[in-house]
A and B are shown apart, each in its own frame.
Chain A
Amino acid sequence: MKWITKLLTSSLGQKLIMSLTGIFLILFLIVHLVGNLQLLAHDNGESFNIYAAFMSHNPFIRVISIGLYAFILLHSIQGIALWLTNRKAKGGHSSKGKVAGADWSSRNMALLGVLIFAFLCIHMGDFWVKMRFTDSLPLVNYPGHEGAVEDIFSRVHVAFQNIWIVIIYVVGVIALAFHLVHGFQSAFQTLGLNHKKYTPLIKGIGWLYAILFPLGFAILPLYHYFNL
């Protein structure tokens, strides 16, 4: 099994970890947004609360979500480790001027990552901790649904009345957008999936994804703030 250590500690192996966890997180965002779009439903949170209950009690989802947390941590820790070694490799000097090629987001992935991580901490503390580890959320019953579920919808709605929370969310998803602009296609390049014919397509999808999904996430707090 020595080869696995050799693979995962090599520079390419470390990048592989970034790429695979990154792709997983990209996929997660799809599910996350699709589910959360139910926050836009005018049903006093019925569909969203039932969905949230399902997500937090289904054993399969629970296993997956543990994996998700692990991957977020792995992606973050590995990212910081790469940033530190790369800074050292550069020799501690920055040149007077700017190189061509490297766009802003590609040069600032670590900064963007830290911003996103900080946002995640707030985000999780706001909803997920309250939902999982406290009993502070009131229970509601819905006809046609067995048992009471926690009313996370109302909690979200209340939270998004606070302009500061809305700003934090909007800033968080903007950071996410820039992170994705580079990260999406970079994940494919790291895996070696670069081809003259297909890469423009990957890059195009990456751009679309990096704009549409953060936009989707940004709509949620704004929607509630402005009571649309």
Chain B
Amino acid sequence: MKLTLHIWRQRSSKEKGSFETYAVTANEHMSFLEMLDVLNQELIEAKKEPVAFEHDCREGICGACSMVINGRPHGPVKGTTTCQVHMRHYKDGDHIWIEPFRAQSFPVIRDLVVDRSSFDRIIQSGGFISVNTGQAVDANSIPIEKDQAGEAMDAASCIGCGACVAACPNGSAMLFTAAKVSHLALMPQGAIENERRVQAMVEQMDKEGFGKCSNTYACEAECPKEISVLHIARLNRSYFKSMLTSK
């Protein structure tokens, strides 16, 4: 199939970017990133700068790939990262617009590559359980109800890709932050420091300049791991409770 790509090219966060148009021939078995590989190969052979895009595991789990395809973070397939989108979802003659994840807290590094270190700093502010190596009790001495463990796992499956921020009309990181708060709050060993954690993480999230959640639920719809906004509600609950009741 022959495709027309409109790709956002930008040298650095300081320089202005714009769309450039490329023609590429793909086949339906390729993944979306393999289609971009083909384009880059052609660009290199023509001694031109290839399109920079972030990618690593190419099996939907590392969270590196990060592009907006025709307005949708990670493209058209529900619950799927860009690397797992295959070209069979496109047809001959399609125009595809490819841009970086857009948010003030994700400055563009080059083309489609953005800086998501703000996510790391949110985790560093409290997204952990304070236990040192060697302090642990026997694993089975902390029983956790099966469904609750499952819910914690749902939240913990976040891959930190930032699609929630890119999807959000407000550039909010609530789903990311809530997923971690929720994962840890649902485990008895993590519930202990929930109050402190939730305050610290929300404070850091605000400091990073992310927008404020207005419950549009675009995050849930575009999350490649389909993490539920129920976790955002839990974050809200935890936060208000901790602000109102903590000493």
Contacts and interface: CB of A to CB of B under 8 A. Distances in A.
A11 B216 CA distance: 15
Interface string A146-173: 0000000000000000000000000000
Given A90-B170, A107-B169, A11 B206 contact: yes
Contact of B102 (A15, A16, A90, A190): A90
A9 B221 CA distance: 28
Contacts of A99: 71-73, 167, 169, 218, 221-222
A12 B236 contact: yes
A95 B104 CA distance: 14
A189 B236 contact: yes
A189 B78 contact: no
Contacts of A195: 230, 233
Interface string A166-205: 0000000000000000100110011111111000000000
Contacts of A185: 215
Contacts of A196: 230
B97 interface: yes
B3 interface: no
B172 A100 contact: no
A90 B169 contact: yes
Interface centre among A82, A93, A99 (most CB of B within 10 A): A99
B215 A186 contact: yes
Nearest to A193: B233
A90 B168 CA distance: 8
B205 interface: yes
B111 interface: no
Contact of A95 (B68, B202, B219): B68
A59 to B, nearest CB: 32
By DSSP majority rule, is chain B's interface helix, strand, loop, or mixed?
Answer: mixed
B191 interface: no
Interface in B196-247: 202-203, 205-206, 209-222, 229-230, 232-240, 243-244
Contact of B70 (A13, A90, A96, A189): A96
Interface in A89-116: 89-91, 93-103, 106-107, 109
Given A90-B104, A90-B211, A101 B171 contact: no
A227 interface: no
A215 interface: no
B218 A89 contact: no
Contacts of B213: 11, 15, 190
Given A11-B202, A95-B68, A189-B232, A101 B102 contact: no
A106 B216 CA distance: 5
A86 B212 contact: yes
B72 A192 contact: no
Nearest to B170: A86
B234 to A, nearest CB: 7
A144 to B, nearest CB: 50
B66 interface: no
Contacts of A192: 233-238, 240
18 contacts: A12-B240, A15-B214, A15-B236, A85-B212, A86-B211, A89-B103, A89-B212, A90-B102, A90-B171, A95-B97, A96-B71, A100-B78, A101-B221, A186-B215, A189-B232, A191-B236, A192-B233, A192-B237
Interface of A: 3, 6-7, 10-16, 82, 85-86, 88-91, 93-103, 106-107, 109, 182, 185-186, 189-196
Ranked 7 nearest A-B pairs via Cβ? A97-B71, A101-B221, A192-B237, A89-B211, A194-B233, A102-B216, A86-B170
Interface of B: 6, 68, 70-73, 78, 97, 99, 102-106, 167-172, 202-203, 205-206, 209-222, 229-230, 232-240, 243-244
Given A101-B220, A103-B216, A192-B240, 9 more contacts: A90-B169, A91-B102, A95-B68, A99-B222, A101-B216, A101-B221, A182-B215, A189-B232, A192-B236
